[in-house]
Amino acid sequence: MRCVSSSPRVLVAGLGGTIAMTGDAAGGVSPTLSARDLVDAVPGLDGSGADLEVVTFRNRPGAALTLGDLVELSGLLARGFADGVVGAVVTQGTDTIEETAYVLGLLHPGDEPIVVTGRALPLPPVGLSPTVGLYTATLGDDGGLLPVLAGSLDGLVIAGFGVGHVPESWVPHLAAIARRIPVVLTSRTGAGFTATSTYGYPGAERDLLARGLITGGALDPYKCRLLLQLLLATTPSAGEAREAFIDITRAADRR
């Protein structure tokens, strides 16, 4: 029997994954948040006009899901659609997100939309907000303010000249800062890659990368700052945040 509702009914089914993870005592993250927790964390949904029906179907990492789980999930969605649900959102781990979408597409015969979504990083702990600064190279700036600025930072993004260059006077400051916190080298031009192996003079990209800075790749300074801030908030140490930043930007550069 169909339920009668004045608002469109949308089913939200949670499977776990990074989107549902929080930190544990061992320093890692694991699935702990329910589908209701995720829905409640999204501002404005109360005024969306939709009637959300929220189910925590599983709470596992994406790599732990099975084909049986997806067949059962398809059955849950089918029953919802038969009862008047007009669409569904499935949250899960990104490790197997494309496989879930493919299987649900194969098993769903109707026209109702099914959106499969996740996130690459866990939610930052409440109240934890690492500070990442952004400093732009300008003609005539000797970099004397860099140590003062960096003293209160957890990370720093440098928007350099051209493909990632700074005045020579900046070099000892940046080298010292990079020994303490992650320092990302980007370009202030707003488009294109930061170079890695072309120029070798003091203050050029080869020199700076050899002194511990890391490249922002194809990301602009603003995206680099946001990415580094999220990584610092969701990894156990600055070193791990630095390595994760390198992995993510390398993957983005290959696309």
The domain spanning residue 63 has which CATH number?
Answer: 3.40.50.1170
**Least confident span in 8-12, 128-132, 172-176:** 128-132
Do 16 and 110 lie in one domain? The reply is: yes
- What pLDDT score was predicted for residue 71? 95
Mean pLDDT score of the chain: 90
Domain tally, the chain? 2
Burial 192-230 (b: 16+ CB within 10 A, else e): eebbeeebeeebbbebbbebbbbbbbbbbbebbbebbbb
Q: Which of the four pLDDT bands, split at 50, 70 and 90, describes residue 91?
A: very high
Is residue 38 assigned to a domain? yes
- What pLDDT score was predicted for residue 124? 62
Residue 143: how many CA atoms within 13 Å on its side-chain side? 19
Do 157 and 222 lie in one domain? The reply is: yes
Higher pLDDT, 42 or 65: 65
- What pLDDT score was predicted for residue 65? 94
Please give the residue range of the domain that contains residue 163: 132-253
Is residue 122 assigned to a domain? no
Do 92 and 145 lie in one domain? The reply is: no
Q: Which of the four pLDDT bands, split at 50, 70 and 90, describes residue 98?
A: very high
- The yes-or-no verdict on residue 3 having pLDDT over 60 is no
Q: In this predicted model, what pLDDT tens digit does every residue of 55-64 receive, in sequence order?
A: 999 999 999 9
Q: In this predicted model, what pLDDT tens digit does every residue of 189-239 receive, in sequence order?
A: 977 788 899 999 999 999 999 999 999 999 999 999 999 998 998 888 899
Is residue 1 assigned to a domain? no
Catalytic annotation present for 18:
yes
Is residue 243 assigned to a domain? yes
The strand pair at 29-31 and 21-23 is best described as antiparallel
Radius of gyration in angstroms for the set of CA atoms belonging to the chain, rounded to a whole number? 23
Chain CA centroid to CA 241, Å:
12
Do 109 and 206 lie in one domain? The reply is: no
- What pLDDT score was predicted for residue 41? 81
Do 183 and 159 lie in one domain? The reply is: yes
Reference 168, options 216, 207, 199; nearest CA is: 207
Higher pLDDT, 48 or 53: 53
Residues of the chain above pLDDT 70, percent: 93
- Which residues, at least 6 apart from 244, have a Cβ–Cβ distance to it below 8 Å? 231, 235
Q: In this predicted model, what pLDDT tens digit does every residue of 127-139 receive, in sequence order?
A: 557 899 999 999 9
Side chain identity, residue 87: G
- What pLDDT score was predicted for residue 63? 93
- What pLDDT score was predicted for residue 5? 55
The average pLDDT across 73-93 equals: 96
Do 166 and 245 lie in one domain? The reply is: yes
Query: Of these residues, 18, 91, 100, 235, which one is catalytic?
Result: 18
- What pLDDT score was predicted for residue 254? 67
